[in-house]
Amino acid sequence: MMQKRDDSQIKSDFRLRQSRQLLAIAIALLGMVILALVYKRHDFFGEFPKSTIFGLQLVIIAVFAGFTAVNWRCPSCNKYLGHDINRRICKKCGARLQ
């Protein structure tokens, strides 16, 4: 009985992590698209140096990578889950995630 509750807790925690990861992907993509538009049409939002826009793009990438490194881990063994956003089983510990 205790194992069943742990499995449901793991699945619930994974769904939360997956939702946060999808939200982070959407925010990062939106930020990159906005910065690409500002880069291409620099008169749209005002005058921004291209080096500033490039720097902001690097910041978005770094923040996203840092968030992913912390968030995208197995709720059971805390190992990195890899590139598959719809992972069903952890490759390291075998925990069922979905």
Q: For residue 2, what pLDDT is reported?
A: 47
Element (H, E) at 16: helix 2-40
Residue 21 resides in a domain = yes
Q: Can you give the residue range of the structural domain that contains 24?
A: 2-71
Q: For residue 1, what pLDDT is reported?
A: 43
Residue 85 resides in a domain = no
Q: Are 73 and 81 contacting, i.e. CB atoms less than 8 angstroms apart?
A: yes
Residue 28 resides in a domain = yes
Residue 56 resides in a domain = yes
Q: For residue 57, what pLDDT is reported?
A: 95
Q: What is the mean pLDDT of each run of 10 residues along the chain (98 residues)?
A: 69 95 97 90 75 93 97 93 90 89
Q: For residue 13, what pLDDT is reported?
A: 94
Q: Are 16 and 72 contacting, i.e. CB atoms less than 8 angstroms apart?
A: no
Question: Can you spell out the DSSP letters for 50-80?
Answer: HHHHHHHHHHHHHHHHHHHHHHSB-TTT--B
CA distance 23 to 60: 14
Q: For residue 49, what pLDDT is reported?
A: 82
Q: For residue 60, what pLDDT is reported?
A: 97
Q: For residue 3, what pLDDT is reported?
A: 53
Residue 16 resides in a domain = yes
Residue 32 resides in a domain = yes
Q: How many domains does the chain have?
A: 1
Q: For residue 12, what pLDDT is reported?
A: 93
Residue 64 resides in a domain = yes
Residue 42 resides in a domain = yes
| pTM for the structure as a whole | 0.83
| Neighbour tally for 71: CB within 10 Å | 14
